[in-house]
């Protein structure tokens, strides 16, 4: 009998990417070309115009910050005009611009790149590494994503895999993959909580493990809470201390110095996991009147805890909310599995012990378990004793109502795959030739707080017909509409800003032009615009 096609598992991380393969039912991490187990998720264009990926790209990050792309996992699948991307535009040294279909994109070497294209460079490097190490072509891949990713983000990751030359067999949620690595073939009957604090995102999932059946009971998270936020707290503290001591504001004057401080902040945080005291020591960080200026700032683990304690507390607020949504008590949790490098922080582990009354499981590697679980899933696809995953929707999906609210069609924590049917409403405007449903995903009842997924556009004669929202096993949305010949799949049209939202923006902008003096701070104007839009919809 011929060997089954080889399918690798990939953990496409904000900070690092890992790849794993299975041999004789045992998953192992594939080492990179540098002999490491992780590949930095960094892409750059050198001064000579060479494309760099991984460690070589990260090595020149300090001297080439404008053309070095990192942390792009926070941007992938987002609309350029979304509040999320607006908040991030000043966060990265590279330029975030508007790409095709209103998506966020980035500039590198004067050229525009889509976010799936950027991620495909990392995945392509992983593919080359795996093929060289395993000695043959790779047929397919299972790629992990944060459980709290929306439909756009999941599709963007899948597109990145295709651009890299993979047959993407499955997209799997990171906590689910981690639980697989923990419980596969162990014959367990347990409720486990997966606490996933990575470089850019926080996810928490509660699963029931029964043999090789992995059922997600509840899930939640925050796509803007991760190790990078801990690094930023250290960086902000270092900049403030330097400003107090020297009266020099590096924040606006020296991008290379900022990148050095960012790297030093991350290194200090990692060192404080093992030792109680470090010094951020950066000679020649700047120059004034021909004299070099050094940065030397001591940092203790205790002070780091005070700087970042509120970030850790936020993770437990999310944990409690997820448990409460399904009526699960902390005492019912049998095991806690840690995922992500930031979960190694002593404060995190101390607070887990205090919060849940039990220590986290030590036998699962927080950096490797997601890739290992993805590889196990890939290896089991099509086999007789395949793993059964019963995953859940992390954020509800619905469509926009005329009053600016969202009518939910599929609720959060619904088991997938699934189908939800309803009847098409009449057109928004009487006499309109089309029915347009703007689809949104998110936890809020207000559409401005949610992510726009696309628009269903059908002839007005379809009013009253059945429409299905189908979620695949990858938690991807498919829409079908009833016709005389049966159900027909409808592609979601996309537009930069749905008409309803555009009208609200124009109305509020008009008010502000009459009320706000031209000398006002533009940043506060933007926040005012956003809150005013919300107030209009609340009145609606």
Distance of CA 219 to the CA centre of its chain: 14
140 and 378 Cβ atoms separated by less than 8 Å: yes
Q: Is 291 a catalytic residue?
A: no
Selecting among 103, 151, 174, 368, the annotated active-site residue is: 174
Strand blocks (E) in 212-290: 213-222, 277-288
Q: Is 174 a catalytic residue?
A: yes
Closest CA to 212 of 23, 6, 390, 26: 390
200 and 71 Cβ atoms separated by less than 8 Å: yes
Q: In sequence order, which residues have a C-beta less than 8 Å from that of residue 536 and are 6 or more positions away?
A: 404, 504, 507, 508
Q: Which tokens is 20 given?
A: 């794993």
Distance in angstroms (rounded) separating the CA atoms of residues 142 and 386: 15
Selecting among 73, 79, 262, 269, the annotated active-site residue is: 73
| Alpha carbon distance, N-terminus to C-terminus of the chain | 65
CA distances to 182, 343, 454 from 186, in Å = 8, 24, 42
Q: Phi-psi bin for 325: left (phi > 0), alpha (psi -120 to 50), beta? A: alpha
Residues shown for the chain: 540
Selecting among 103, 151, 159, 196, the annotated active-site residue is: 196
How would you write 75-92 as a 3-class SS string?
A: CCCCECCCHHHHHHCCCC
Distance in angstroms (rounded) separating the CA atoms of residues 461 and 473: 32
Closest CA to 465 of 501, 429, 490: 490
Longest CA span, the chain = 80
147 and 173 Cβ atoms separated by less than 8 Å: yes
19 and 31 Cβ atoms separated by less than 8 Å: no
Distance in angstroms (rounded) separating the CA atoms of residues 80 and 157: 17
Distance in angstroms (rounded) separating the CA atoms of residues 79 and 492: 15
Q: Is the peptide bond before 39 cis (omega within 30 degrees of 0)?
A: no
184 and 176 Cβ atoms separated by less than 8 Å: no
326 and 217 Cβ atoms separated by less than 8 Å: yes
3-state secondary structure of 295: strand
Q: Which tokens is 344 given?
A: 């190694």
Q: Phi-psi bin for 110: left (phi > 0), alpha (psi -120 to 50), beta? A: left
Q: Is 58 a catalytic residue?
A: no
Distance in angstroms (rounded) separating the CA atoms of residues 145 and 74: 11
Q: Is 87 a catalytic residue?
A: no
Q: Which tokens is 474 given?
A: 């990858």
Distance of CA 389 to the CA centre of its chain: 21
Distance of CA 511 to the CA centre of its chain: 35
Active site residues: 11, 73, 174, 196
């Amino acid at each position: 009998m011929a060997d089954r096609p080889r399918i690798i598992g990939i953990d496409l991380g904000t900070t690092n990417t890992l790849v794993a393969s299975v041999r004789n039912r045992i998953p192992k991490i594939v080492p990179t070309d540098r002999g490491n187990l992780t590949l930095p998720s960094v892409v750059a264009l050198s001064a000579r115009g060479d494309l760099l990926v991984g460690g070589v790209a990260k090595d020149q990050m300090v001297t080439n910050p404008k053309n070095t792309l990192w942390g792009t996992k926070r941007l992938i699948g987002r609309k350029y005009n979304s509040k999320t991307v607006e908040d991030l535009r000043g966060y990265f040294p590279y330029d975030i611009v508007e790409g095709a279909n209103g998506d966020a994109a980035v500039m590198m070497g004067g050229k525009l790149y889509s976010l799936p294209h950027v991620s495909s460079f990392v995945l392509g490097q992983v593919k080359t590494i795996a093929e060289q190490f395993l000695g043959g072509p790779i047929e397919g891949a299972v790629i992990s994503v944060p459980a709290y990713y929306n439909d756009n983000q999941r599709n963007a990751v899948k597109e990145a895999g295709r651009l890299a030359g993979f047959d993407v067999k499955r997209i799997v949620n990171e906590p689910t993959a981690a639980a697989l690595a923990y419980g596969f073939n162990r014959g367990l009957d347990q409720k486990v909580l997966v606490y996933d604090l990575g470089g850019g995102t926080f996810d928490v999932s509660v699963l029931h493990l029964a043999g090789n059946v992995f059922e997600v009971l509840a899930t939640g998270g925050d796509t803007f809470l991760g190790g990078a936020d801990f690094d930023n707290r250290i960086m902000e503290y270092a900049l403030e201390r330097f400003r107090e001591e020297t009266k020099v504001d590096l924040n606006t004057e020296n991008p290379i110095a900022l990148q050095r401080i960012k790297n030093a902040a991350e290194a200090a945080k990692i060192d404080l996991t093992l030792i109680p005291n470090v010094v951020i020591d950066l000679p020649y960080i700047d120059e004034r009147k021909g004299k070099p200026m050094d940065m030397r700032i001591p940092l203790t683990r205790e002070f780091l805890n005070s700087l970042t304690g509120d970030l850790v507390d936020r993770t437990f607020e999310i944990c409690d909310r997820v448990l409460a949504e399904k009526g699960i008590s902390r005492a019912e949790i049998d095991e806690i599995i840690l995922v992500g490098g930031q979960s190694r922080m002593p404060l995190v582990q101390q607070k887990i012990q205090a919060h849940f009354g039990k220590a986290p499981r030590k036998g699962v590697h927080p950096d490797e378990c997601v890739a290992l679980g993805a590889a196990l899933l890939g290896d089991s696809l099509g086999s007789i004793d395949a793993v059964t995953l019963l995953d859940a929707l992390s954020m509800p999906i619905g469509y926009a109502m005329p009053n600016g609210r969202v009518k939910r069609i599929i609720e959060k924590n619904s088991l997938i795959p699934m189908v939800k049917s309803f009847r098409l409403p009449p057109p928004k405007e009487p006499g309109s030739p089309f029915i347009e449903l703007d689809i949104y995903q998110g936890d809020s009842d207000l559409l401005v707080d949610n992510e726009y997924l696309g628009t269903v556009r059908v002839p007005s004669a379809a009013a009253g017909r059945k429409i299905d929202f189908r979620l695949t096993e990858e938690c991807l949305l498919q829409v079908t509409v009833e016709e005389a010949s049966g159900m027909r799949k409808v592609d979601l049209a996309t537009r930069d800003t749905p008409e309803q939202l555009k009208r609200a923006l124009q109305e509020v902008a008009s008010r502000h032009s009459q009320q706000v003096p031209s000398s006002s701070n533009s940043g506060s104007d933007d926040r005012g615009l956003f809150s005013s839009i919300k107030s209009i919809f609340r009145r609606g």
